[in-house]
Each structure stands twice: as C-alpha cells, then as structure tokens.
Amino acid sequence: MPPYAGPPVASRQGDAASPLRLLAYLALAITLIVLDDQAGWLARLRAQANVLVQPVWALAGLPGKLGTQVKDNAASHGQLVDENRQLRNQLLIANARLTRLQTAALDNAQLRELLNVAERSGLDVQLAPILDIDLDPVRQRLVLAAGSRDGVHLGQAVIDAGGLMGQVIATTGSNATVLLLTDPDHAVPVTVARNGVRLIVYGRGDTLELRDIPLSAGVEVGDEIVTSGLGGRFPAGFPVGKITALRPDDTHAFLVGELKPAAQLDRGRDVLLLRPGAAIRIPPN
C-alpha cells in the first residue's frame, strides 16, 4: 500500500464506536440517577453494602484498638503499682506511730502504778530508769541510769509496783548495777505471810526457790512470801513471791518450794529505789 493511502476501514469504524459507547454510558448514568432519585434503591444498596463491609472495617481497626488498650492497661497497672507502694508505706508509718503511742501509754501506766504504790504506802523512794538488762541464766542483773551522784548507794533495795526486785551491788557516778532476786548468787530472808514461818529464798536463774522447809511448818501452795527484815538488808514486809509448787527434797526430810516473783523482773522501764528508813509494807496485789 502506498504511504499516502488512508487508514484501513476497520480502524475508522473503531474510532466511530468510541463516541457511541461514551453516549451509551452517559445515558445509563442519567437513567440510574433518575431511578435512584425516584425509587431510592441505590441508597438502600449502599446501606446494605455498608453493613456487609462493617466487619472488614472493624477487623482493620482491631490492631490499633488492641495497641491502645494494651498501652492504657500498662499505664493503669503502673499507676496501681505506685499507688499500692504508697499505701503500703503509709500503712507502715501509721503502724509505727500506733506502736509508739501504745508503748508510751503502757510506760505511762506502769509509771503511774509505781508512783501510786509509793504514795499509798508512804514510802521514801527514788525513781530510776532502767538503762540495760542482763537476763543470762547465770547473771540476772539490771543497769540503772542513776548513780552515786544521784544518791544511789550500795545495798539499796530496789522494788517495783509488785514487790522486791533486788539490791544495788555496784555504783558509778551516773549508773548503778542491780542484782535481781532470781540471780543464783542472791538469797533473801523471808517469812510466810500467813503463819510467820521464817525461810530463805534463793535465786534459780529464771525463778525463785524456797529450801529446807520443815514438813511441820504448814507451808502451802499459794502462800504469800514477804521479806522478814532479818539481816537489815531489806525492810520487812515487802512482797517477794507466791508459792506455786511444793516437793520433797532428796532426803525427804524437808520440802522445796517454787515461787513466782511478785515483781515483774522482765518488764517495765523504771524502778523504785528505797531510801534508808523505808520499812512500810507494800500491800500485796
């Protein structure tokens, strides 16, 4: 075919068909718009399509929601941990303050009891705080925060609200050492308050013991034991303890009695020191 010849007939027919298709599409679009405006079926179709597509949208947004929820949960957990830690600290502080208040109330009650005993009995006493305590089975001793500069002297009797505790065995300018009744090296002349039988109480490390009790003495469990005043070391009439048990000794010729101390040897923060001339009996509890 010569170069100047026109295009094939088929190509011209295709070019002519393109405007016709455009016109057909345009007519179809106009028809759909008119029908949708009159019947609204296209809106219903869009609504149904939205319902069908909704799960897809939810699934697509799930990772973002999960990430946000995890982040919120992590923040909430951290906040709860911090609040829990703060509450625990506040509870510990409150418990510590409550314990201090309870301890102070107990100390005040014990001090009031000591002063009431001294006032009721008309005793000439000196209040001394306990500085240290040694309750080793072979060394039952107290160290007081009062010494020779405060008027404390050797042999001075020491009592509490319950009865006799011991005696001063050493002093410095600011401190004094007290040998407790329960010390194995301690012995006190006593009498049975009920019948006046004279005996001696010995320390046993954690309790008190009466030895060489005659079988005919009429001593019984429950008898109150008080100081006899013999020897001049302890004034007469101060409670020492109560008999809790009696048993024969190895010879079966005498009885041995176990005593519960009248004084609270392992409690309290203060004691009373008897000044010379104090010979008035403390009423037993």
- The residues with which 247 forms a beta bridge, in sequence order, are 256
Check whether residue 81 and residue 206 sit in a common domain: no
Does residue 18 lie within any of the structural domains?
A: no
Cα(87)–Cα(95) distance, rounded to whole angstroms? 12
163 DSSP assignment: S
Contact 225, 243 (CB under 8 A): yes
Domain end marker among 75, 101, 122: 122
Check whether residue 226 and residue 179 sit in a common domain: yes
Our CA angle for 48, 51, 55, nearest 5°, is: 150
Check whether residue 106 and residue 168 sit in a common domain: no
Residues 6+ apart with CB under 8 A from 149: 173, 174
Q: What is the pTM of this model?
A: 0.58
CATH number at residue 270: 2.40.10.350
Domain end marker among 84, 103, 122: 122
Check whether residue 93 and residue 178 sit in a common domain: no
Does residue 3 lie within any of the structural domains?
A: no
Helix pair 9-39, 41-121: axis angle to 10 deg: 50
Q: Considering its fold, how many domains does the chain have in total?
A: 2
Check whether residue 130 and residue 152 sit in a common domain: yes
What pLDDT digit, counting tens, does each position of 22-78 carry?
Answer: 788 788 777 777 766 666 666 677 777 777 777 777 777 777 777 777 777 777 777
- pLDDT of 114 above 70: no
Does residue 280 lie within any of the structural domains?
A: no
Does residue 12 lie within any of the structural domains?
A: no
Helix H or strand E segment including 82 = helix 41-121
Q: Where are the alpha helices (DSSP H) in 122-143?
A: none
Check whether residue 84 and residue 210 sit in a common domain: no
Token pair in block for residue 129: 């705080």
Domain end marker among 91, 122, 153: 122
What pLDDT digit, counting tens, does each position of 244-274 carry?
Answer: 999 999 888 899 999 999 988 888 888 889 8
Q: Domain limits at 80?
A: 40-122
Give the Cβ contact number of residue 241 at 10 Å.
Answer: 28
